[in-house]
Structure 1
């Protein structure tokens, strides 16, 4: 397959390079990724400044194109301008840290995959679910094996798979589960500080809230040692409430 690979940790991040090396054993891989880390950029795109695409080499090896934009920019540019072949699959990752629950609304990694879905390409976001000691090799091996077994053409239009891999050795992984997006979220707060000139500035912190413990939730699967695979959709209409709203407004 021809695979477009992006991320939000930047083109030099170990996660994307380990995944590119693993997938290149069986597929043609084009890396188009941000020039620097663009975590938590969500689905932002660049419309008022030009995008630069710089070929990046490490030693004698070409590793891809660095873009001064967001993951969604990278996918657009990769599909519409840089690639000279038909791309079969978009993969975003491997992200450092999990993308669970409401993380997907903020995540540049997930947004890269959703941009691929919007552009009608089968798409996968993949994360190693540990900030401190991510095991990218485990996630890369799983994605390579998953692509051998799963027909990506079965992913419906405008849908992406959000994959979170526990940071364990491959032999420690218990298996995989198809999960739902949980209600895992953060209770945010700001700490006020002063700069040397007496001006206020703020650092945002957050406490994780995990009060959605069903076995079919994404974080419950990861916590239990399973790989979580969650199908997510580019459109966010709440159809249940839409019908109730119609009735209420009619009255």
Structure 2
């Protein structure tokens, strides 16, 4: 098994080393770290990157605390782009698995659409690479080993289910000592997520954004609600897919055009 580890917090995050160790403990034959050179939070699955002379800018740089023998790169690109490049052989042979995180802060609710952590895993899934996004529910997490413990448990589940190449596992873990986490629960997405943005118009047409805790995050049986109550949560997400059962408009031939001029 070949594993790519990435994130959206950047190459300096200790969460990268946590997932690299998880992959090695799971028996990965090779682990490569490729993470944004700078924070790319909120990048979703964007294919953004900086080029020099037509080449994506990539530098050898060790993430903090990495186990020996793990190659590590700082890439001037969004995490979705990094996963895309990896799928096309940019960091060696195509990986079998992408581990994204461990993110500083939760990624819950439908707001995962905007997450660079989740976006990297979704980008990989569109190329037939299984992915897991892992997040710790604090902007300044302290209990990285708790995230590693739960990521290892979920990865063992994924290894027994190789038939899920177009799915992404989204794991959120409370920032607590492992003994204080209530357990692991399967959870649906909350209505939005942990925070909500509000747009305020100010003078001269300028806009200002403010962020506050979203009450929907307290929905008790969603990922956000369970996380607030001390549970680790796991959600299975779909990569973009065609819905063969959808009832959509069709036409057996060309649509009729407007033949008569319309009077003003």
- TM-score (norm: length of structure 1): 0.82
Using a 3 Å threshold, how does the CA distance of structure 1 residues 213 and 58 change in structure 2: closer, same or farther?
closer
Whether 1:177 and 2:182 are equivalent positions in the alignment is: no
How far residue 152 of structure 1 moved from its aligned partner, in angstroms, is: 5.4
Q: Which moved more, 1:161-170 or 1:25-34?
A: 25-34
Query: Can you give the 5+ residue segments of structure 2 that lack an aligned partner in the other structure?
Result: 251-264
2:16: which partner in 1? Answer: 16
Q: Is 1:89–1:121's contact at 8 Å kept on the other side of the alignment? A: yes
Q: Is 1:184–1:210's contact at 8 Å kept on the other side of the alignment? A: no
Per the alignment, in what secondary structure is the counterpart of residue 92 of structure 1?
Answer: strand
1:67-82 correspondence to structure 2 within 5 Å:
67-82=75-90
Higher strand share: 1
1:17-36 correspondence to structure 2 within 5 Å:
17-25=17-25, 26-27=27-28, 28-36=30-38
1:189: which partner in 2? Answer: 199
Using a 3 Å threshold, how does the CA distance of structure 1 residues 212 and 225 change in structure 2: closer, same or farther?
closer
Q: How big is the alpha-carbon RMSD for the aligned residues of Structure 1 and Structure 2?
A: 3.1
2:216: which partner in 1? Answer: 211
Higher helix share: 1
**CA deviation vs aligned residue, 1:84-130 (integer Å, no higher than 9, x gap):** 34522111100000101132111100000101111111111110011
Whether 1:100 and 2:105 are equivalent positions in the alignment is: no
Query: Can you give the 5+ residue segments of structure 1 that lack an aligned partner in the other structure?
Result: 194-198
Using a 3 Å threshold, how does the CA distance of structure 1 residues 82 and 239 change in structure 2: closer, same or farther?
closer
Using a 3 Å threshold, how does the CA distance of structure 1 residues 5 and 224 change in structure 2: closer, same or farther?
same
How far residue 176 of structure 1 moved from its aligned partner, in angstroms, is: 0.8
How far residue 216 of structure 1 moved from its aligned partner, in angstroms, is: 3.5
**CA deviation vs aligned residue, 1:134-191 (integer Å, no higher than 9, x gap):** 5222111211233234425445232101111111111111211111111034141348
